[in-house]
């Protein structure tokens, strides 16, 4: 401060200059835990972005390719049907101890239709099982894998037999009467795996399970009533 004559005024005792002064940098040693911050490396970000872009690009390519494939080939699952059942042998021997022995031989014919006009169907090992009234098993049989051409109907023949199968006498007596009257309920189950063939290249093998029933032996032999069938995949 200065007076009118340009001479500096004396500061009163105890005066503190309000102007802050910069502190000098510390000259002592830095703490051991102190570490200078490093600049983030942008290379990691660039790599992650590239990987994400490639993944998204591949997903888009697969989705577009799958859409084109489905639109062009229109893949369909096979259709199964059943011919009249041949019961070559069916004997039940009732014992005094309350048990019975079942001796049977049946021929099951399964009709598999490939409805695809541009695709073959690859069948894995195919198993067929037969039961009466959903409680008495009449055996099972398998056929080896085969290839079905497009627009083709293939007839599969299975021979099922049971010898000395133990059942209770009441079931045996009732079953014997129902088979004689042809009013016993027939149930057929098919288990197999299917894949599609494009230009001789096999794509995938999907497990399928077909259960058909709700029809009597007489109705099946007449061929006028179709059995009720349930179809599922990816589980047995």
- 143 in Cβ contact with 125 (< 8 Å): yes
Distances (CA, A) of 199 to 35, 90, 114, 184: 65, 47, 16, 46
Residue 29: pLDDT band with limits 50, 70, 90 = low
Say what percent of the chain tops pLDDT 70.
77
Q: What is the rounded average pLDDT for all residues in the chain?
A: 79
All residues at 6 or more sequence positions from 230 whose CB lies less than 8 Å from its CB, including other chains: 210, 211, 212
Distances (CA, A) of 68 to 44, 76, 77, 213, 225: 36, 15, 18, 38, 39
The mean per-residue pLDDT over the stretch 107-126 comes to 90
Predicted TM-score (pTM) of the model is: 0.66
More confident residue, 114 or 21: 114
DSSP 71: H
Cα separation, 198 vs 75, in Å, equals: 11
Query: How many residues does this entry show for the chain?
Result: 236
More confident residue, 49 or 113: 113
pLDDT at residue 191 greater than cutoff 90: yes
User: What pLDDT was estimated at residue 126?
Assistant: 93
All residues at 6 or more sequence positions from 72 whose CB lies less than 8 Å from its CB, including other chains: 118
Question: Residue 58 belongs to what H/E stretch?
Answer: helix 42-73
Cα separation, 129 vs 160, in Å, equals: 8
Comparing C-alpha atoms, which of 103, 99, 168 is closest to residue 139? 103
pLDDT at residue 189 greater than cutoff 60: yes
Domain ranges across the chain:
79-233
User: What pLDDT was estimated at residue 153?
Assistant: 92
User: What pLDDT was estimated at residue 197?
Assistant: 78
| 154: number of Cβ within 10 Å | 16
Q: Is 106 exposed, middle or buried (0-12, 13-18, 19+ CB in 10 A)?
A: buried
Torsion over CA: 40, 43, 45, 46 (sign): positive
User: What pLDDT was estimated at residue 21?
Assistant: 62
Q: Look up the CATH architecture of domain 79-233.
A: Sandwich (2.60)
User: What pLDDT was estimated at residue 73?
Assistant: 62
For tokens 């894998």, name the residue.
Answer: 145
CA 179 to chain centre: 38
Q: Which two tokens stand for residue 135?
A: 């409680």
pLDDT one-digit tens code per residue, 49-68: 788 878 887 887 777 766 66
User: What pLDDT was estimated at residue 7?
Assistant: 55
The mean per-residue pLDDT over the stretch 21-33 comes to 58
């Amino acid at each position: 401060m200065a007076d009118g004559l340009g001479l500096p005024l004396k500061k009163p005792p105890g005066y503190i200059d309000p102007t802050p002064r910069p502190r000098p940098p510390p000259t002592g040693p830095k703490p051991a835990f102190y570490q200078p911050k490093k600049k983030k490396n942008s290379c990691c970000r660039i790599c992650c972005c590239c990987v994400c872009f490639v993944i998204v690009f591949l997903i888009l390519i697969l989705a577009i390719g799958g859409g084109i494939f489905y639109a062009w080939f229109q893949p369909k699952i096979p259709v199964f049907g059943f011919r009249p059942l041949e019961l070559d042998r069916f004997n039940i021997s009732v014992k005094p101890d309350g048990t019975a022995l079942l001796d049977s031989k049946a021929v099951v014919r399964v009709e598999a239709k490939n409805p695809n006009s541009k695709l073959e169907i690859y069948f894995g090992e195919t198993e067929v099982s037969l039961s009466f009234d959903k409680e008495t098993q009449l055996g099972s049989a398998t056929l080896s894998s085969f290839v079905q051409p497009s627009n083709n109907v293939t007839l599969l023949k299975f021979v099922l037999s049971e010898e000395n199968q133990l059942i209770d006498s009441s079931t045996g007596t009732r079953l014997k009467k129902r088979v004689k009257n042809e009013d016993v309920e027939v149930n057929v189950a098919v288990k197999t795996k299917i894949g599609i063939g494009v230009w001789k290249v096999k794509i995938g093998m999907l497990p399928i399970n077909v259960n058909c029933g709700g029809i009597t032996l007489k109705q099946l032999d007449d061929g006028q009533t179709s059995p009720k069938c349930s179809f599922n995949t990816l589980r047995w």
